[in-house]
Structure 1
Amino acid sequence: MRYMMTFRGTDEYEAGAMPSEESITAMTSLMAEMAEAGVLIGGDGLHPSSKAIRLEIHEGKHSVVDGPFTETKELIAGYCLIQVASKEEAIAWAERCLDADMGNSRGVDLRQIFEAEDFGDAYTPEAQARTQAATAKLSK
């Protein structure tokens, strides 16, 4: 099963504060351990919402809004994608990531990623073929 961890940003993060050298060392060491264990799919920190772009659609028309997004209470400061055998294993890795983050975020949200079988008959053979073709291009 795959999970996405999202790290919720703090006011300091939104103001552009960078993590300490100690935190960066702890997090990069843990990410290396996760990669060695075959759990890590990917992950990175994100710039604050002041550098973000939001796309919305209203009545069929697109709008582009530049950050910051002050009306949003919890913004994502970073993410990590993992592949694990169980929910409990995902929680264990997320707890370790939260510890390594050393207070740079308000917490971590952990959400399971949909797998093909979760969609049932709506995920047609044609849609599956398109997904497989796109995925094959990613691995090149």
Structure 2
Amino acid sequence: MRVMVLVKATEDSEKGFFSTPETAEMLEAMGKFNDELAKAGILLAADGLKPSSEGKRVAFDGPGRMVTDGPFAETKELVAGFWLWEVKDMDEAVAWVKRCPNPMPGPSEIEIRPLYEMDDLQ
């Protein structure tokens, strides 16, 4: 089963990357966690996203398209980073997320969502 593991944005992540001793420590811990995921054969892809101030949204309405420049207001609805994992089931994904170092300097949240597989669409 493939899952997308979404690191939710925070006010800190929306300010952009900042170099502090705490950030360096956090990145080192996250690197070790990613190494563990890779060694376990779970990690398919991972990356952090720049703040929404550097992004755009494209809204669709029939043939029309409207582009909106970031930043986007609802920080709690934004994603700051992601992993793509191959796990045996949702319980395994939850167990790995529980082992994850906190991805933010303060309180944070990670969401796990299963991907559709071809069998789901038949």
2:5 paired residue number: 5
Q: What TM-score, normalized by structure 1, do the two folds share? A: 0.77
Which of 30, 33, 36 aligns to 1:30? It is: 33
The answer (yes or no) to whether the contact 2:13–2:104 under 8 Å persists in 1 is no
Identity %: 38
**Partner in structure 2 of residue 16 of structure 1:** 16
SS of 1:69 mapped into structure 2 = coil
After TM superposition, give the deviation of residue 74 of structure 1 in Å.
1.9
TM-score normalised by length of structure 2: 0.88
Q: Give 5+ residue unaligned stretches, structure 1.
A: 121-140
Does the 8 Å CA contact 1:8/1:77 hold for their aligned counterparts?
Answer: yes
Give the RMSD, CA atoms, in angstroms: 1.8
- How many corresponding residue pairs? 119
Q: Which amino acid aligns with 2:16?
A: G
Task: Select 1:75's aligned residue among 73, 78, 103.
Answer: 78
**Alpha carbons of 1:47 and 1:39: their partners in 2 closer, same or farther (altered >3 Å)?**
same
Structure with bigger RCO (C-alpha 8 Å, 6+ apart) = 2
SS state at 2:109 partner: strand
Find 1:55's aligned residue among 53, 58, 76: 58
Residue identity in the other structure for 2:6: T
Could you list the runs of 5+ residues in structure 2 that have no partner in the other structure? none
Residues in 2 aligned to 1:5 and 1:67: alpha-carbon distance in whole angstroms: 23
